[in-house]
Each structure stands twice: as C-alpha cells, then as structure tokens.
A and B are shown apart, each in its own frame.
Chain A
Amino acid sequence: GAVVSQHPSWVICKSGTSVKIECRSLDFQATTMFWYRQFPKQSLMLMATSNEGSKATYEQGVEKDKFLINHASLTLSTLTVTSAHPEDSSFYICSAWGGARSYEQYFGPGTRLTVT
C-alpha cells in the first residue's frame, strides 16, 4: 500500500518560535494533501487542503497566517506553525489523496507538537 511519512514525529518548541512539519508521499504522487489537527480523545479536524502548485484552502476558523502550508512538489507538503503558543500544542496529521484511480486517503503517522 501507499506510504505517507511525517517528520518530525515529536517536536517541542518554545513559545514564539516557528516549527515546520513535513508530509511526504513516499511511493506515489499526491496532487492533494490534507492537514488535520487532533486533540486527545477527539476526532480529526480538517485544517486545510493542500494542492500542489497552488494556494492551500483553509477551513473556517483556521488562521492562514499562523498555519502556513506549502505544497511545493507532488510528494511534499509542509505545515509551518508560526509564532507558536501553548494552545497550538496538539497532534497534527497529514493525509494524501491517492490519485484519480483511488478513492482512498493515506495517512501519515502524525506529529506531536508541544509548545512550552
């Protein structure tokens, strides 16, 4: 099956700094990737849809200037949390759409962000 990786798997940063999370499709090209946020014991909340070569589409209530998404290639999307604050601490998950022949999304293992 298709594999999606995320890096780092766990990151701790100080309040006010920025942190970048990478999402890579390892064995397929992903024109569309999705970024989710998940709080403990809650469901996945879609933050934005990332399309290769174009601007990301953000969900209502998600600050686009705080959560910068760049989908620079068909295998890489990045999420940068700018000026992180403790309330940004969460589990961030990316997924990649498998393409025109697939109606399945492939999920990365997630990144745990802790802002101190």
Chain B
Amino acid sequence: AQTVTQSQPEMSVQEAETVTLSCTYDTSESNYYLFWYKQPPSRQMILVIRQEAYKQQNATENRFSVNFQKAAKSFSLKISDSQLGDTAMYFCAFMKGTSGSRLTFGEGTQLTVNP
C-alpha cells in the first residue's frame, strides 16, 4: 500500500515571498504519478502540478515548481511570488501508473499568505 505524508499542518508566508511545502511518500511501485492539489475555501479541488515518476526533470507551472527526489521519495512544492489567492489547503497525492487508479492523499498543509 502507498502512503503519503505531509509533515507541515500549517504554514504562512508573506505576499511576494517564496514558500516550500514538503511531502514524502512510500511505495514499491516503479510507475506512478505525483500531484499537488489546492483546495481553497470554496473547497473545489484544483490541480496545481503533476509529476510523472519516469521523468527526471522537475515539473513547473508558472509560479509553482516541484523538487522531485525519487530515491528519497520526496516531492516538495515551491510557490514563488506568493499571492493572496494562494491561501488554501494543499494536498500532495500519489497515483499508481495504471489506468483508473485511485489517488492517495496526504494529510494536507494549510497555507496562509499574509499581506
């Protein structure tokens, strides 16, 4: 079974600053995907970024980037130039690379961006 661990229940950052959210996972799978989802107060789950395990290059989406360390089973999210709208709960998630697989979520990190 897969497990995903987010060790930071809450974090805060000043607007325009950079913040990194941590995530570690455990799996025996060789083919898998990792995701960061954002859940703002509306509670709609929004995909932030996705990383394929077979890709060595770290994924980047505008201000969001990941540091994927496969051997260490670490998958951190860096948010640059933080904006007030980034305030949300962030979930790290794991999915096996098999069609129709389930997502396994971490406990979440509540990020607050302060003006």
Chain A: CB-nearest residue to B108 = A43
Number of A-B contacts (CB under 8 A): 48
Main secondary structure of the interface of A (DSSP, over half): strand
B50 touches A109 (CB 8 A): no
Min Cβ gap A41→B in Å is: 7
Q: Is B45 an interface residue (CB 8 A)?
A: yes
Contact partner of B100 among A32, A43, A46, A93, CB < 8 A? A32
Also in contact, A42 and B108, with CB within 8 A (given A103-B33, A105-B103) = yes
A58 is an interface residue with CB less than 8 A from chain B = no
Is the CB–CB distance between B44 and A110 below 8 Å?
yes
Q: Assess whether B43 is in contact with A109, with CB atoms less than 8 Å apart.
A: yes
For residue A28, CB closer than 8 A to chain B, the reply is no
User: What distance in Å separates the Cβ of B33 from its nearest Cβ neighbour in chain A?
Assistant: 5
Q: Is the CB of A107 within 8 A of B91?
A: no
Within 8 A of A (CB), among B98-115: 99-100, 102-103, 105-108, 110
Q: Is the CB of A104 within 8 A of B50?
A: yes
A1 to B108 alpha-carbon distance, docked (Å): 24
When chains A and B are docked, how far (Å) is the Cα of A109 from the Cα of B42?
A: 8
Question: Do the beta carbons of A46 and B102 come within 8 Å of each other?
Answer: yes
Q: What's the nearest-Cβ distance from chain A to residue B75, in Å?
A: 15
Among A41, A44, A91, A93, the residue within 8 A (CB) of B110 is A41
A39 to chain B minimum Cβ distance, whole angstroms, is 12
Would A43 and B45 count as touching, CB distance under 8 A? no
Question: Taking beta carbons and an 8 Å cutoff, which residues of A are in contact with B?
Answer: 31-32, 34, 38, 41-44, 46, 49, 51, 91, 93, 95, 97, 100, 103-105, 107, 109-110
A-B CB contact pairs (8 Å), 5 listed: A43-B107, A97-B100, A104-B47, A104-B50, A110-B43
